[in-house]
Amino acid sequence: MRKHYDFSNARKNPYAAQLKKSVTIRLDEGSILYFKDMAEETGIPYQSLINLYLKDCAATGKRLNLAWKSTTAKSRDA
């Protein structure tokens, strides 16, 4: 390895900003603990695991299966 490197003509990677985007999301404590436990097992940072899981969901087209109770059903049951 050289003792001195000349970076006077260096330029930033124009694609670096496109690789990841910082966002703020709110996650419940249980979900965070799940990924932190998995991170300890695998040695992969938990934020990277969350990103990998979400990336897999997007790539495979996973859809969340939610079934909400209708408001009319609530009023009938009351």
Every domain of the chain and the residues it spans: 21-62
How many distinct helices (H) and strands (E) make up the chain? 4, 0
Q: Is the pTM of this model over 0.85?
A: no
Q: What is the pLDDT of residue 71?
A: 77
The helix (H) or strand (E) run that includes residue 64 is none
Residue 1 vs residues 4, 5, 6, 65, 71: alpha-carbon distances, Å: 9, 9, 13, 55, 69
Q: What is the pLDDT of residue 75?
A: 55
Q: Is 6 exposed, middle or buried (0-12, 13-18, 19+ CB in 10 A)?
A: exposed
How far apart, in whole angstroms, are the C-alpha atoms of residue 78 and residue 32?
36
Mean pLDDT by 10 residues, the chain (78 residues): 85 80 94 98 96 96 89 60
